[in-house]
Structure 1
Amino acid sequence: MKEKKIRFFSPQDNEETKPKPAKEQKEAAPTASISLTGRLIFPIKTIEKLDVNPETTRFRVGVEEGKRKVKSLYLVPATDDSADVFELVKIGRSYTIPLQGILKNLNLDYTTTLFIFSVKSFDYEDSARAFELALTEQQERVKKEGEPKKRGRKPASAKIEE
């Protein structure tokens, strides 16, 4: 019979290894994203980092003029309550700005693609601190496991002819 090689442990092997101290992590830049329903989502951490009072602050939303593709959205705090301002709405654990129509007009297909923006502040016309939402990442939305199937009849183009 062939002799088996056995590896034996010592009491030092039984001690749990201490995790290495983590390197100082650089503070993550504030982010925003576009939801499946066409809302610009700001997590509470982002709102806190930007030092914005969501109950009183209203924004004018815009893009850079003369550009075909959207690379940045701009949020400028409004000083008056005119018709072209948007307010932050609290939904769940985040604040949102509903922009469905604007995003469709900009040809951003938020139903199939997840858009993630990094938020940076800048001075706009020497008056207020405005925010630039630079597009940093686009991910294709995938159906989550356990999500219900679509109900109803299939469209005529999806039927298989025999």
Structure 2
Amino acid sequence: MSTDHERPRPLPRPITGVFVRHLLHTACPRYFAMVWADFEPLRDDGTGEAFAFVDDLPDRCREPGEPLPKEFVRAFTEGAREVWENSGGDRPLFAARVVLRDAVWHDNDSNPQSFRMAGRLAAREALCCVAEGREPRQAGRSGRSDSPIPPMPRTLPPPDPAPPA
């Protein structure tokens, strides 16, 4: 977002562990996206940008055991950028770097729209955390804000191998 406006100040503090569970199985198409993301202050690098994205996904998502499709990563980025750049009306409230840490997706029920919405929800949650001075809560459809945030799949121990026959 290069504009003639003054660049917004960096995000006041890192917001780590934003978790979005966006599930909707009563519609066609179905929606399924689970993401873990961090929002970090973006220092002025001379570009004037107020939004940067970093893909820090593991090589393979634990579920379904394959990399997150690039179109899902792009959709998440677009959704987060959309909310972030419109957060202050005509310009973003803060300059931030969004780091996508992990994701879970499904062959049949995930689509770009699912991940675009997950990006929007993640950005809204990060902005609410700053405004309310709190840590992240679970966000998204089928996500209860009072439920604990589950650990990222990449941090879980590997599943037990099948017992010998």
Q: TM-score range by the shorter chain?
A: under 0.3
More strand, by proportion: 1
- TM-score (ref. length: structure 2): 0.26
More helix, by proportion: 2
Structure ID, larger Rg: 1
Higher relative contact order (CA 8 A, sep 6+): 2
- TM-score (ref. length: structure 1): 0.26
